[in-house]
Amino acid sequence: MLYELLPHILNGLALGLLFALVALGFMLIIGVMEIINLAHGSLFALGAYVAMAILAPDGGIPLSAMEPWYDLSPWIRYPVSLIVAPVVVAGVGMGLEVCLRRTYGKDPLYGLLLTFGAALVLEEIIREIWGPSEYFLPIPREISGGFIFEDLIYSTYRIFAAAFSVAMIGLLWLFLNRTPYGAVIKAGAHDSEMVRALGYNLRILRMLVFGFGTALAAIAGVIMAPIWGIRPVVGVDAVIPAFVVIVLGGVGSFWGAVTAGVLVGLVVAITAAFLTDWSLLSMYLLLLAVVTFRSRGLAGKASVLER
Amino acid sequence: MARSNFRPQAWINTPILISFAVFGTMPLWIEQAGFYQYLGLEILIWIIFALGFNLLLGYTGLPSFGHGAFLGIGAYVFGLTQFNVVENLWLGLIAATVLTGLFGAAVALFISHRRGIYLALMTIAFGQILFFIASKWTSVTGGEDGLLNIRRLPADFWLFSIELQDTAMLYWFAFGVYAVVVVLLWRMVNSPFGKAIKAIKQNEQRVAFLGYNVRLLKGTVFTLSCAVAGLAGALFAMAQEGAYIQVMNLQWSGIVVLMVLIGGGFVSFWGPVVGVILYFVARDILGAYTEAWLLWFGLLFMLLVMFKPEGLAGMWQDAVKRLRNAAKREAVEPAAPKALAE
Q: Do B251 and A112 touch (CB under 8 A)?
A: no
Give the pLDDT confidence score for residue A306 in this predicted structure: 56
Residue B174 resides in a domain: yes
**Who among B128, B257, B298 is closest to A240 (CB)?**
B128
Does position A77 have pLDDT exceeding 70, yes or no?
A: yes
Determine the residue of chain A that is closest to B124 in CA distance: A240
The pLDDT score that the predictor gives to residue B229 is: 96
pLDDT at A20 (0 to 100): 93
Confidence of residue B199 (pLDDT cuts 50, 70, 90): very high
pLDDT of residue A307: 52
Domain limits for position B332: 316-342
pLDDT digits (tens, 9 = 90+) for A197-251: 888 888 898 899 999 999 999 999 999 988 888 888 888 888 888 888 888 888 7
Distance of residue A150 Cα from the nearest chain B Cα, in angstroms: 35
β-pairing, A152-155 vs B147-148, is: unpaired
Give the DSSP H or E segment for A33: helix A6-33
Average pLDDT, chain B: 88
Task: Kindly state whether B250 is in contact with chain A, defined as any CB-CB distance less than 8 angstroms.
Answer: yes
pLDDT band at B1 (very low <50, low <70, confident <90, very high): very low
Residues near A278 by Cβ (< 8 Å), separated by ≥ 6? A271, B136
CA distance A80 to B76: 49
CB contact under 8 A, A307 and B116: yes
Q: What integer pLDDT is reported at residue A62 of this predicted model?
A: 62
Per-residue three-class SS string for A81-102: HHHHHHHHHHHHHHHHHHHHHH
Bridge partners of A154, per DSSP, are: A147
Looking at per-residue pLDDT, the higher value among A296 and B130 belongs to B130
Q: DSSP states of A190-226 as a string?
A: H-HHHHHHTT--HHHHHHHHHHHHHHHHHHHHHHHHH
pTM score? 0.88
- Is a pLDDT exceeding 80 seen at residue A19? yes
Quick check: A306 and B118 CB within 8 A? yes
User: Looking at the structure, do residues B213 and B338 belong to the same domain, yes or no?
Assistant: no
Instruction: Give how far B83 is from chain A: nearest CA, Å.
Output: 26
> A17: pLDDT confidence band, cut at 50, 70 and 90?
very high
Nearest CA in chain A to B110: A292
B136 at the A interface (CB within 8 A)? yes
Do B130 and B210 fall within a single domain? yes
What is the rounded average pLDDT of the residues A251-270?
Answer: 89
pLDDT higher than 60, residue B337: no
Last residue of a domain, one of B252, B267, B301: B252
- Expressed in percent and rounded to 5, the helix, strand and coil fractions of chain A are 75, 5, 20
* Cβ neighbours of A189 (radius 10 Å): 22
The torsion angles phi and psi of A36, rounded to 5 degrees, stand at -85, 115
Q: Do B129 and A284 touch (CB under 8 A)?
A: yes
**Residue in A99, A109, A287 nearest the CB of B116:** A109
Residues B96 and B185 in one domain: yes
DSSP state of A57: S
pLDDT digits (tens, 9 = 90+) for B82-118: 999 988 999 999 999 999 999 999 999 988 887 777 7
The dihedral over CA atoms of B32, B34, B38, B41, expressed in degrees to the nearest 10, equals -70
User: How far apart are the C-alpha atoms of B156 and A22, rounded to whole Å?
Assistant: 55
Residue A293 has pLDDT above 80, yes or no: no
Distance to chain B for A118, nearest Cα, Å: 7
The C-alpha angle with vertex A267 and arms to A262 and A268, in degrees rounded to 5, equals: 100
**Strand-pair category, A152-155 with B161-162:** unpaired
B252-272 residue pLDDT tens: 898 899 899 889 888 899 999
How distant is the Cα of A215 from the closest Cα of chain B, in angstroms?
22
Domain edge (last residue) among B222, B252, B282: B252
Q: How far apart are the CA of A149 and the nearest CA of chain B, in angstroms?
A: 34
B118 Cβ under 8 Å from any chain A Cβ: yes
Task: Collect all residues of chain A within an 8 Å Cβ-Cβ radius of residue B297.
Answer: 120
Q: What is the pLDDT of residue B4?
A: 58
pLDDT surpasses 80 at B341: no
Output the average pLDDT for chain A.
85
What is the structure's pLDDT at B3?
54
In a domain, B275, yes or no: no
Q: How confident is the model at residue A158 (pLDDT cuts 50, 70, 90)?
A: confident
Taking the Cβ of residue B281 and every Cβ of chain A, the question of whether any pair is shorter than 8 Å is answered with no
Q: What is the pLDDT of residues B21-67, one digit of tens each?
A: 899 888 888 888 888 889 999 999 999 999 999 999 999 988 898 99
The verdict on A181 touching B (C-beta cutoff 8 Å) is no
Residue B145 lies in a domain: yes
| Mean pLDDT of the B264-284 span | 91
In this prediction, residue A105 carries a pLDDT of 79
Nearest to A206 by CA among A180, A184, A237, A224: A184
Please report residues of A whose CB lies closer than 8 A to that of B135: none
Q: Are B220 and B321 contained in the same domain?
A: no
For a pLDDT cut of 70, what percent of chain B falls above it?
95
Q: Mutate which of A116, A123, A245, A307 to disrupt the B interface (most B C-beta within 10 Å)?
A: A116
HEC string of chain B equals: CHHHHCCHHHHCCHHHHHHHHHHHHHHHHCCCCCCCHHHHHHHHHHHHHHHHHHHHHHHHCCCCCCCHHHHHHHHHHHHHHHHHCCCCHHHHHHHHHHHHHHHHHHHHHHHCCCCHHHHHHHHHHHHHHHHHHHHHCHHHHCHHHCEECCCCCCEECCCCEECCCCHHHHHHHHHHHHHHHHHHHHHHHCCHHHHHHHHHHHCHHHHHHCCCCHHHHHHHHHHHHHHHHHHHHHHHHHHHCEECCHHHCHHHHHHHHHHHHHHCCCCCCCHHHHHHHHHHHHHHHHHHHCCCHHHHHHHHHHHHHHHCCCHHHHHHHHHHHHHHHHHHHHHHCCHHHHHHHC
* Stretch among A145-149, A233-237, B290-294 having the lowest mean pLDDT: A145-149
- Of A109, A116, A277, which has the smallest distance from its Cβ to B254's Cβ? A116
Residues of chain A neighbouring B122 (CB-CB closer than 8 A):
247, 291
CA pair distance A60, A78, nearest whole angstrom = 13
Q: Do A306 and B294 touch (CB under 8 A)?
A: no
* Residues from chain B contacting residue A281 (CB–CB below 8 Å): 129, 132-133, 136
pLDDT at B221: 95
Instruction: Give residue A64's pLDDT.
Output: 61
Which residues of chain B have a CB within 8 Å of the CB of A243? 121, 124-125
Residues of A in contact with B65 (CB under 8 A): 116
Q: Is A149 in the B-facing interface, judged by CB distances under 8 Å?
A: no
CB atoms within 10 A of CB A127: 17
Q: Which of B227, B252, B277 is the last residue of a domain?
A: B252
Confidence of residue B340 (pLDDT cuts 50, 70, 90): very low
Residue in A114, A281, A284 nearest the CB of B306? A114
Residue B67: inside a domain: yes
Domain A6-134+153-302 falls under CATH 1.10.10: no
Other Cβ atoms less than 10 A from the Cβ of B33: the count is: 11
Q: How many domains does chain B have?
A: 2
Question: In the prediction, which pLDDT does B342 show?
Answer: 45
Q: Number of A to B CB contacts under 8 A, please give it.
A: 111
Nearest CA in chain B to A233: B251
pLDDT tens digits, A34-72: 888 889 999 999 999 999 888 876 665 666 666 677 777
Asked whether residue B158 is domain-assigned, the answer is: yes
Percent of chain A past pLDDT 90, that is, above it, reads 30
Residue to test with chain B: of A37, A107, A109, most B Cβ within 10 A:
A109
**Rounded distance between C-alpha atoms, residue B226 and residue B108, angstroms:** 10
Contacts of B189 by beta carbon, 8 Å cutoff, 6+ apart = B55, B59, B197, B198, B269
Answer whether B267's CB lies under 8 Å from B150's CB. Answer: no
Would you kindly state where each structural domain of chain A is located, as residue ranges?
6-134+153-302
Q: What was the pLDDT predicted at B151?
A: 87
Chain B residue with CA closest to A304: the answer is B117
User: In chain A, which residue's Cα lies nearest the Cα of B291?
Assistant: A128
Residue A107: pLDDT band with limits 50, 70, 90: confident
A124 vs B294, B302, B305: nearest CB:
B294
- Asked if B132 and A128 come within 8 Å (Cβ–Cβ), the reply is no
